[in-house]
Structure 1
């Protein structure tokens, strides 16, 4: 007798919305519209004859029936993902899926992947730079590299490296900011803000005691990469993030204009699902990436004079 299952697409919408407690966030994660998520869940509720969410003007929450059903749906998707991974593990060629922020992927991960391919030539790597949190193993990823203050429960976290903040700008912009003593005056600068960064100018000013710098206004961008490019183009002063800004500093596109360097409270972490070490290729990737991070931070510290 065949299984009587609700529409699988609606179940995927329900799992994401229930986990994130938001139709909008679920839509962003699944790359669909919030309306599609809402309609899919309404269809699911009609098919089940049960109300899964309590919808209020500014809030969304699971009903008791919805919370109970979510445990089964989430477990079912996790089992499917695990089974798929185990099936893939028996193929001659394997694929490791990594979720990573765009700037870190382009500046740090991708330039190093050729070394991993030499060690594991039979293993392919897929890098996803979409701005979304991933779940293990339901979303099909083996690893995620995340910027966080501390590990979260439910997965295996390994610290890779932290960052240090220092104001940077183009050489010409530095010269234009110079005071009578030749020092760059940040009070006259256009500050370049990264809206997506958890630690930016406010964190640097708090740590250095520079409360007199006006943080309102300035130029706002949505990525660290854009902030560096804007600063190199002479549009203002951005916060350089060691070791991510080393390329521009070495090329002379950007220069540091303050001796005050502030260590961030966040760090880059390698996150993987529990049990990932049971697959030789995943264990090898983790060991290789941690080793690359150790070499990278060691070389950066050795080359940076303070």
Structure 2
């Protein structure tokens, strides 16, 4: 008949099995994430309960006694059976789906990155790979699964869906507005360096100038590689930038950047951030749909200021 005597505590058996396998109390402690003294304590209690000595304690090592070797063979086999049974029962790990997104570095760092933790927490099975570049990613050619573009739409061979509009106003460091030459009206901006980022089809300054009746052809324009650099140059007082409010909201809120001409704000519904996918795709992959829906919901919760 099976014995009715209780088994030793599982924690003591684990300590013994690990120590016997490594022939080291310290290595067993590292494996089990406990202290060496805790392993020694559990084994002493196990020896006391069994009434036998399992280890020979030496100066810098331990060795199994004859009883310890016999007991280890059975305990180790039991733990191996538990391990293999657990692995067979455990649901297989789901491979993460990679989703490649093309976008501007400025949008990635100033708008998307602070919000990505929420997406990763909600969708751990999707691994986002961001490809920031000032050049347009080849969406039809499959270079990326999805792109986020800035502009007025109208790109060839793709589907473009407005994610959110952008608000534009001319901004600068407060230090640039000191003295008697402070701009009072849009036309006064021609006295300052105008900061512009690289674009295949630049439109911001032209659209703003047309809206407020300013001829900017005689203004000094400083062309910079990326919009992140434009923002840093404006913060350093090097000129007037076209402020994309979605991207510079923290700087406007803190006063690090101010509107040079507060009444000259451009809200053009055509200008904004767009979600771009291949036009010829037979069916949108699920990860694209999930990320697109999350972006749309997140953008809707971000009122423009």
- Interval of TM-score (by shorter of Structure 1 and Structure 2): 0.5 to 0.7
TM-score by length of 1: 0.60
Given that residues 140 and 158 in structure 2 are in contact (C-alpha distance below 8 angstroms), is that contact kept between their aligned partners in structure 1? Answer: no
Q: What do residues 157-207 of structure 1 show as CA deviations (whole Å, max 9, x unaligned)? A: 221112222111111111236459899942432222334262232321111
2:212 is matched with which residue: 194, 198, 208?
208
Where 2:179 maps in the other structure, the secondary structure is: helix
Given that residues 177 and 183 in structure 2 are in contact (C-alpha distance below 8 angstroms), is that contact kept between their aligned partners in structure 1? Answer: no
Where 1:271 maps in the other structure, the secondary structure is: strand
The verdict on how the C-alpha distance between 1:153 and 1:173 changes in structure 2, with shifts beyond 3 A counting, is closer
2:297 corresponds to 1:294: no
Match of 2:287 in 1: 281
Distance in 1 of aligned mates of 2:135 and 2:273: 16
2:195 corresponds to 1:198: no
Distance in 1 of aligned mates of 2:103 and 2:119: 17
2:179 corresponds to 1:176: yes
Structure 1, unpaired ranges of 5+: 1-89
Match of 2:264 in 1: 260
Match of 1:243 in 2: 246
Q: What do residues 198-252 of structure 1 show as CA deviations (whole Å, max 9, x unaligned)? A: 22323211110123x5544242212221111111101111111122221211121
Q: What do residues 141-163 of structure 1 show as CA deviations (whole Å, max 9, x unaligned)? A: 21111124234454432211122
Deviation at 1:260, TM superposition (A): 0.7
Given that residues 134 and 198 in structure 2 are in contact (C-alpha distance below 8 angstroms), is that contact kept between their aligned partners in structure 1? Answer: no
Distance in 2 of aligned mates of 1:186 and 1:166: 12
Map of 1:1-306 to 2, 5 A cutoff? 92-136=95-139, 138-152=141-155, 154-176=157-179, 178=181, 185-196=188-199, 198-211=202-215, 213=216, 215-258=218-261, 259-264=263-268, 265-273=270-278, 274-277=281-284, 279-296=285-302, 299-300=303-304, 304=305
Distance in 2 of aligned mates of 1:180 and 1:195: 26
Distance in 2 of aligned mates of 1:183 and 1:139: 43
Structure of larger gyration radius: 2
Distance in 2 of aligned mates of 1:131 and 1:142: 17
Match of 2:68 in 1: none
The verdict on how the C-alpha distance between 1:202 and 1:183 changes in structure 2, with shifts beyond 3 A counting, is closer
Q: What do residues 58-110 of structure 1 show as CA deviations (whole Å, max 9, x unaligned)? A: xxxxxxxxxxxxxxxxxxxxxxxxxxxxxxxx962111111111111111112
Given that residues 93 and 124 in structure 1 are in contact (C-alpha distance below 8 angstroms), is that contact kept between their aligned partners in structure 2? Answer: yes
Distance in 2 of aligned mates of 1:150 and 1:246: 23
Where 1:133 maps in the other structure, the secondary structure is: coil
Where 1:243 maps in the other structure, the secondary structure is: helix
